[in-house]
Amino acid sequence: MATIKDVAKEAGVAVETVSRVLNNRGYISEKTRNKVFNAMKALNYTPNAVAQGLSKKKLDTIAIIVPHIVHPYFAKVISQLEKEATKRNYKVIIYNSSGDERRESRVIQICQSNFISGVVLFSTDISKETLDSFHIPIILIERNPVGNTYSILCDNEEGGRLAAEHLISHGCRHMVAIGTINVADMPGDTRESSFQAVCAREKCSCSIYRSTPEEYASMEYYSTIEAALDENPDCDGVFCTSDLIAAQVIQVCNHRGKRIPKDIKLVGFDDVNLSRLTCPSITTIRQPIREIVAQAIDTITAVNEHKEVKKIITFPVTLVPRAST
Amino acid sequence: MATIKDVAKEAGVAVETVSRVLNNRGYISEKTRNKVFNAMKALNYTPNAVAQGLSKKKLDTIAIIVPHIVHPYFAKVISQLEKEATKRNYKVIIYNSSGDERRESRVIQICQSNFISGVVLFSTDISKETLDSFHIPIILIERNPVGNTYSILCDNEEGGRLAAEHLISHGCRHMVAIGTINVADMPGDTRESSFQAVCAREKCSCSIYRSTPEEYASMEYYSTIEAALDENPDCDGVFCTSDLIAAQVIQVCNHRGKRIPKDIKLVGFDDVNLSRLTCPSITTIRQPIREIVAQAIDTITAVNEHKEVKKIITFPVTLVPRAST
């Protein structure tokens, strides 16, 4: 079997040059790169990255586990994670857990067995006991830290506050907040509670509605939205804890002849592409997704280098005004 | 260092049971699984998957290279690929190439060096010469086969035909087709050409507009859409070669006071989630994305098993009628 030395000889370059081509390190001219590739091909050489991984005991890969890949929030998270990981010379493996705790646990086990550098996990259910059974860095996004894990959050409380203050300053008095399933102790639940607190302080009414697990799984929130609008005929301001829900509020209002923003003003959450693609476009609370996933990767690196790492890091949010308010 | 035998002894189970837990093979009770995990933890045992990969010379991972992860079509492709890969015991690594041919080539090189089973590649530019330099199965989606690669397509021609016949049967006479950048010999280009052919046969006018590479990169097609509507004031039917473009046609029509479907009828392409989230929802040509990615995986498996594989496989499309026509 050909070695890296044989390839260097065949290509007429230094061994170090072949190594740089193999590892995508430093500048290599296209001409040299082709010479090396052609030599590898001629010798049927397969660089032994698995053996390299074995010697390093790490394959420089990060795994991301999400409940829904097509949900616009997770699609943006995956996209940004891939970009930030590439900048830091990590590869990314993705897993869709469908929110199933057993599958999450098995996937983490697979990651551990494969020398994955760390796991970025979006999970509401997986237990402390299960998480404690792993010895691989696990970064939870939008969940409080459990056992040995680390947490990265956005400032959910501030998000709810900004949304309420924005709607009130635009004249809304009768609010509806539509959120996702209530799971005890999830940081995201403070989006609605802080929204409600501002409404109470400003003497505005506020009813909170929560979607069902079935709606979350199908990503269709129409039943909850219909119920919220049926039971609050005087509603003039709606806050949704995701832009995906907000897009569906626009559809339901449209069918009911309610005009946005004239009759009802609407604020979403996340700032995903969808919020710019609807009619009207959606005023939203922007999560700094790029910064959040970059921090997740940097935390994995730091843990593996045995550096001191903060258990919880919270990122600020901002309100992005668009046509729906 | 602890071995699998030590773990079995510590857990009080057979070595085969530990192996099944490690490889997620067959049914294992949660109790037994926990016993094995606890034994592994107590002994600080790390299963040597890299060495396993080395002996098998395959890590059972498929790589997908797309130009845009957040584009709704690619988000759906990735989501379906992950599901179908999991069913077949493959893991999925994702790469965003931003459509850069050099990056695509480097990524394929990395995949080859890492014993990736095969690559599912969405690329318009990468050259035959570059593709020929690899000895890893490469499956091109929506591109004609080049050298050693395999192609999986949807029936683009039929899609354009269905769109034109649908618009004409709904009374449209003055058509605009808005497509993506024209790249010589791309199968997707027949979406517009077959649309135009039906219009000509039925004595309807049809102007074709193509977005710029900058628009494709930013995923914002507003300039091309504005130009198409400016230059065709009597347009009553629009066909877009993606639902993403169609969603933006709705926004532009809205700003111009053109009502969809009353003044202009609209047909998209892909059938991604977005087509159900707009107001009105978008009539579209459905690509069977699940079937396409499942076939891509099965082709990789077959190539690696040295089985006979078709060079081009084409999947049928269907028209999904919604509120925009």
Q: What is the CATH number of the domain that holds B127?
A: 3.40.50.2300
Structural domain includes residue A323: no
- Helix (H) / strand (E) element for B40: namely helix B30-42
What amino acid occupies position A211? Answer: S
A-B contacts at Cβ under 8 angstroms: 150
Mean pLDDT of the B186-204 span: 94
**Nearest-by-Cβ selection for B94 from A92, A106, A277:** A92
Tell me phi and psi for residue B237, to 5 degrees: -150, 130
CA B20 to chain centre: 33
Both B145 and B262 in one domain: the answer is no
Q: Which residues of B touch A102 (CB under 8 A)?
A: 30
Q: Is the predicted pLDDT of residue A49 greater than 60, yes or no?
A: no
Instruction: Indicate the pairing of strand A61-66 with strand A118-121.
Output: parallel
Whether B182 has its CB under 8 Å from any CB of chain A: the answer is no
Both A277 and A191 in one domain: the answer is yes
> Which of B158, B159, B170 has the alpha carbon at shortest distance from B264?
B170
Structural domain includes residue B280: yes
- Helix (H) / strand (E) element for B118: namely strand B118-121
Mean pLDDT of the B14-19 span: 86
Both A200 and A79 in one domain: the answer is no
For CA atoms A16, A17, A22, A23, the dihedral sign is positive
Q: Which residues of B touch A135 (CB under 8 A)?
A: 41, 44, 46
Q: How far is A270 from chain B (nearest CA, A)?
A: 14
Whether A83 has its CB under 8 Å from any CB of chain B: the answer is yes
Asked if A279 lies within 8 A of B106 by C-beta distance, the reply is no
Whether A258 has its CB under 8 Å from any CB of chain B: the answer is no
Asked if A279 lies within 8 A of B278 by C-beta distance, the reply is yes
Q: Which of A87-91, B31-35, B153-157 holds the top average pLDDT?
A: B153-157
What pLDDT shows up at residue B55? 42
Structural domain includes residue B54: no
pLDDT digits (tens, 9 = 90+) for B56-80: 445 588 999 998 888 999 999 999 9
3-class secondary structure, B279 = coil
Structure tokens that stand for B29 in this block: 């009770």
Q: How far is A104 from chain B (nearest CA, A)?
A: 13
| Cα–Cα dist B211/B245, whole Å | 9
Q: How far is A320 from chain B (nearest CA, A)?
A: 19
Structural domain includes residue B81: yes
Tell me phi and psi for residue A154, to 5 degrees: -100, 165
Q: Which residues of B touch A22 (CB under 8 A)?
A: 109, 113
**Window from A127-131, A282-286, B151-155 with minimum mean pLDDT:** A127-131
pLDDT digits (tens, 9 = 90+) for B225-250: 999 999 999 999 999 999 999 999 99
| Cα–Cα dist B7/B13, whole Å | 8
Domain that holds residue A18: 4-47
Asked if B59 lies within 8 A of A79 by C-beta distance, the reply is no
pLDDT digits (tens, 9 = 90+) for A230-255: 999 999 999 999 999 999 999 999 99
Both B166 and B271 in one domain: the answer is yes
Asked if A86 lies within 8 A of B96 by C-beta distance, the reply is yes
Query: pLDDT averaged over chain A?
Result: 89
Q: How confident is the model at residue A140 (pLDDT cuts 50, 70, 90)?
A: very high
Q: How confident is the model at residue A56 (pLDDT cuts 50, 70, 90)?
A: very low
For CA atoms B117, B120, B123, B129, the dihedral sign is positive
**Sequence-distant (≥ 6) Cβ neighbours of residue B253 within 8 angstroms:** B229, B259, B260, B263, B264
**Sequence-distant (≥ 6) Cβ neighbours of residue B23 within 8 angstroms:** none
Give percent above pLDDT 90 in chain B: 60
Whether A38 has its CB under 8 Å from any CB of chain B: the answer is yes
Both A163 and A220 in one domain: the answer is yes
**Nearest-by-Cβ selection for A114 from B49, B72, B277:** B49
Both B39 and B67 in one domain: the answer is no
What amino acid occupies position B26? Answer: G
What pLDDT shows up at residue A54? 42
Both A42 and A69 in one domain: the answer is no
Q: How far is B203 from chain A (nearest CA, A)?
A: 34
Structural domain includes residue A107: yes
Both A135 and A193 in one domain: the answer is no
Structure tokens that stand for B148 in this block: 């050693």
Structural domain includes residue B55: no
- Helix (H) / strand (E) element for A284: namely strand A283-286
What pLDDT shows up at residue B208? 95
Both B277 and B131 in one domain: the answer is no
Which one of A37, A54, A107, A114 would you mutate to disrupt binding with B, by most B Cβ within 10 Å of its Cβ?
Answer: A114
pLDDT digits (tens, 9 = 90+) for B95-128: 888 888 888 888 888 787 777 899 999 987 788 8
Which one of B130, B273, B293 would you mutate to disrupt binding with A, by most A Cβ within 10 Å of its Cβ?
Answer: B273
**Sequence-distant (≥ 6) Cβ neighbours of residue B87 within 8 angstroms:** none
To 10 degrees, what angle do helices B15-23 and A101-113 make? Answer: 110
Both A271 and A165 in one domain: the answer is yes
Q: How confident is the model at residue A51 (pLDDT cuts 50, 70, 90)?
A: very low
Structural domain includes residue B113: yes
Whether B93 has its CB under 8 Å from any CB of chain A: the answer is yes
Q: How confident is the model at residue A55 (pLDDT cuts 50, 70, 90)?
A: very low
3-class secondary structure, A73 = helix
Q: How confident is the model at residue A25 (pLDDT cuts 50, 70, 90)?
A: low
What pLDDT shows up at residue A163? 98
Asked if B96 lies within 8 A of A79 by C-beta distance, the reply is yes
| Cα–Cα dist A157/B54, whole Å | 49
Both B174 and B282 in one domain: the answer is yes
Asked if B86 lies within 8 A of A79 by C-beta distance, the reply is no
| Cα–Cα dist B295/B314, whole Å | 10
Whether A78 has its CB under 8 Å from any CB of chain B: the answer is yes
Q: Is the predicted pLDDT of residue B52 greater than 80, yes or no?
A: no
Q: Which residues of A touch B221 (CB under 8 A)?
A: none
- Among chain A residues, the shortest Cα distance to B38 is held by A133
| Cα–Cα dist B97/B103, whole Å | 6
Both B251 and B304 in one domain: the answer is no
CATH of the domain at B35: 1.10.260.40
Whether the upstream peptide bond of residue A145 has omega within 30° of 0, thus cis, is: no
Structural domain includes residue B262: yes
Overall number of domains in chain A: 3
